[in-house]
Amino acid sequence: MTTTPPTTTAPLPPVLRPHRIPADGLYEGRRILRRTPDDWTERPYERFEVIPQAATIGAEIRGLDLSRPLSGALRAELNRALLEWKVLFFRAQHLASGEQREFARNWGQLESNPLLARGDSKDVVRFDKAAGGAPTFENVWHTDVTFRERPAMGAVLQLREVPPAGGDTLWADMAAAYDNLPGQIRERIEGARAVHDYLPGFARFCTAAQLAPFQAEFPPVEHPVVRRHPETGRRMLFVNASFTTRITGLDEAASDRLLRLLFQQAQVPEFQVRWRWQAGDIAFWDNRATQHYAVNDYGSHRRVAERVAIAGDRPH
Ligand SMILES: O=C(O)CCC(=O)C(=O)O
Ligand SMILES: [Fe+2]
């Protein structure tokens, strides 16, 4: 008598479904992007190659030289990829600072950063601890500048110098984090608001004297705990361990309990992508839909990163 080995027909959980990459190397948009409530479109990308790095977040884009001006069509196609993948990676671009700013300008005004910018350009933040530059937000998950009323829409980061090993960056998908919350928690946070404040996040790197001048410019602000993406309409978890200090209307203990649970949800490995940098690589992320974390595992080696951030709108 022959026995058939047991098989399972159960589908993989949604966040782990593999993407189909056809033999010609062009990714055919398997997933469907919701553009407007009545228009569900599925189109492959036409102008570049998209190599997914994880099921829902992160794609390497091949075949583009970002130092060249973008046509409207190419910008639109890249924006569609950004909305779908939330962080795009481009190898070996080696952009001059001006080129990096020009690329980012295709998405809007650059945001000046009085807290972190050093040197003459107020919109380029250079992370280089060895040279006394801005601290990186290592070991803290965060969405950039949520202590502003209008946090950045996105950011373009280039690694100028990489350590011999380590120094990766992780990004996490806040739509997946929201979608995978238990229903009763989703109900509980619907309509909830939370306070965001730069002080606790920066106090880990800066002295009180360095931070004091910015208190008037950046008073604590309130944002919704769940924000709707302005372009896709998707709901996303919008609290982060670096800047979110309190759920409005809850006492401190209840707020801490709920925030801890939400921070933990935002840090689930299945919602993440990890990029191993080479010098000259660019990462372009949708700051409305993600959090990120720079891994501090390279000892005393040098790692130099430069970032420009694109101005965003008020979360709703
Ligand atoms: O250095 C990194 O990998 C990321 C630093 C960071 O948090 C940022 O550029 O916003
Ligand atoms: Fe950041």
Mutate to test the pocket of ligand 1, among 110, 136, 275 (most ligand atoms within 8 A of CB): 136
pLDDT at 254: 94
How far is the centre of ligand 1, averaged over its atoms, from the C-alpha of 136 (Å)? 6
Domain assignment present for residue 31? The answer is no
pLDDT at 23: 34
| CB atoms inside a 10 Å sphere around CB 276 | 12
pLDDT at 118: 66
- 129-135: long-range pairs with CB below 8 Å, 24+: 129/303, 130/302, 130/304, 131/304, 133/304, 135/204, 135/205, 135/206
Report the CATH number that the domain containing residue 88 is assigned in CATH.
3.60.130.10
Mutate to test the pocket of ligand 1, among 157, 171, 274, 275 (most ligand atoms within 8 A of CB): 157
Q: What whole-number distance in Å separates Cα of residue 267 and Cα of residue 274? A: 13
pTM of this structure: 0.86
Task: Give me 217's structure tokens.
Answer: 């410019």
Q: Which residue range forms the structural domain that includes residue 62?
A: 49-310
From residue 12, alpha-carbon distances to 23, 106, 181, 184, 302 in Å are 23, 38, 18, 24, 41
Domain assignment present for residue 207? The answer is yes
Domain assignment present for residue 257? The answer is yes
Domain assignment present for residue 87? The answer is yes
Domain assignment present for residue 21? The answer is no
Q: What whole-number distance in Å separates Cα of residue 61 and Cα of residue 50? A: 5
Specify whether the CB–CB gap between 229 and 289 falls below 8 A.
yes
| ipTM confidence score | 0.99
Task: Give me 276's structure tokens.
Answer: 């191993």
DSSP designation for 11: P
Q: What whole-number distance in Å separates Cα of residue 181 and Cα of residue 125? A: 34
Specify whether the CB–CB gap between 273 and 289 falls below 8 A.
no
Active site residue 316: no
Domain assignment present for residue 199? The answer is yes
Catalytic residue among 126, 142, 196, 223: 142
Specify whether the CB–CB gap between 111 and 123 falls below 8 A.
yes
Q: What whole-number distance in Å separates Cα of residue 32 and Cα of residue 62? A: 22
pLDDT at 44: 64
Q: What whole-number distance in Å separates Cα of residue 102 and Cα of residue 123? A: 12
From residue 131, alpha-carbon distances to 173, 303, 304 in Å are 32, 10, 9
Domain assignment present for residue 104? The answer is yes
Question: Does the C-beta of 144 come closer than 6 Å to ligand 1?
Answer: yes
The total domain count for the chain is 1
Question: Does the C-beta of 294 come closer than 6 Å to ligand 1?
Answer: yes
Domain assignment present for residue 14? The answer is no
Average pLDDT per consecutive 10 residues, the chain (316 residues; last block may be shorter): 52 37 32 35 69 89 93 93 96 96 97 76 85 78 95 98 96 94 93 93 81 86 97 95 94 93 92 97 98 92 95 96
Catalytic residue among 123, 144, 281, 286: 144
pLDDT at 3: 52
CA dihedral over 262, 196, 141, 17, signed as positive or negative: positive
List residues, by chain if needed, whose CB lies under 5 Å from ion ligand 2: 144
Which amino acid makes up residue 68? R
